[in-house]
Amino acid sequence: MTVNPEMLVLCDPRFLEVLASAELRLPDGMGVVWASHFLRRGVLRRLPGIEVAEAIMAWGSERGWGFYFLGAREGVAQQAARVMQRRYPGLKICGCHHGYFADDAEVVEDIKRTAPEVLFVGMGVPKQELWIARHREALPVRVFMGVGGEFRCVGGEAPPRATVFPFPRP
């Protein structure tokens, strides 16, 4: 999980349980980095989720890994996948599905059928993390990652986020 301050203040006990059980928690917000220094945990720098996702795509595309994009409105994940395939030649997209579905079973079956190594879920916090937690044992996926609204940003439906550092990086 890529963790930002907004996630840390959620009071949903199930979400906090999922957060605590994540195999990897990366600091996606400067507030997390600063809090880490304040608490003397020593996180060195921010690792924005989209940069981590792109690094996984670059690495995975070189190894022939398959990717599945799940989330956003109809067509947005597909557009984001096309953009990423241009950015990372050789990126293998196994499938895409919008995030507005009533029946998880159909989506789970599609992911099983296409058998990607990486599943990016863009449904927003905490929905995407809870969805991953519910289905991770049933899916043949190596890497699960919540990517929030990044399909919209990458696919051109939302303006890209600006990274602003008003203070020097720790």
- Is residue 32 one of the residues assigned to a domain? yes
User: Which pLDDT value is given to residue 125?
Assistant: 94
pLDDT by residue (tens digit) across 128-163? 999 999 999 999 999 999 999 999 999 877 665 554
pLDDT band at 37 (very low <50, low <70, confident <90, very high): confident
- Is residue 145 one of the residues assigned to a domain? yes
- How is residue 69 written in tokens? 């994009």
pLDDT by residue (tens digit) across 94-132? 999 999 999 999 999 999 999 999 999 999 999 999 999
pLDDT at residue 14 greater than cutoff 70: yes
pLDDT band at 8 (very low <50, low <70, confident <90, very high): confident
pLDDT at residue 166 greater than cutoff 90: no
Q: Based on the structure, what is the number of domains in the chain?
A: 2
Percent of the chain exceeding pLDDT 70 equals: 92
User: What CATH number is attached to the domain comprising 52?
Assistant: 3.40.50.2300
- My answer on whether 1 and 61 are in the same domain is no
Q: What pTM, to 2 d.p., does this model score?
A: 0.89
- My answer on whether 41 and 117 are in the same domain is no
- Is residue 126 one of the residues assigned to a domain? yes
- Is residue 55 one of the residues assigned to a domain? yes
- Is residue 99 one of the residues assigned to a domain? yes
- My answer on whether 79 and 13 are in the same domain is no
- Is residue 27 one of the residues assigned to a domain? yes
- Is residue 169 one of the residues assigned to a domain? no
pLDDT at residue 88 greater than cutoff 70: yes
| Host domain of residue 142 | 48-160
- My answer on whether 142 and 82 are in the same domain is yes
Q: What are phi and psi of 89, to 5 degrees?
A: -55, 135
- My answer on whether 131 and 53 are in the same domain is yes
Question: Residue 144 in contact with residue 121, Cβ under 8 Å?
Answer: yes
Average pLDDT, the chain: 90
Question: Residue 92 in contact with residue 62, Cβ under 8 Å?
Answer: no
Token pair 């599945």 is found at: 68
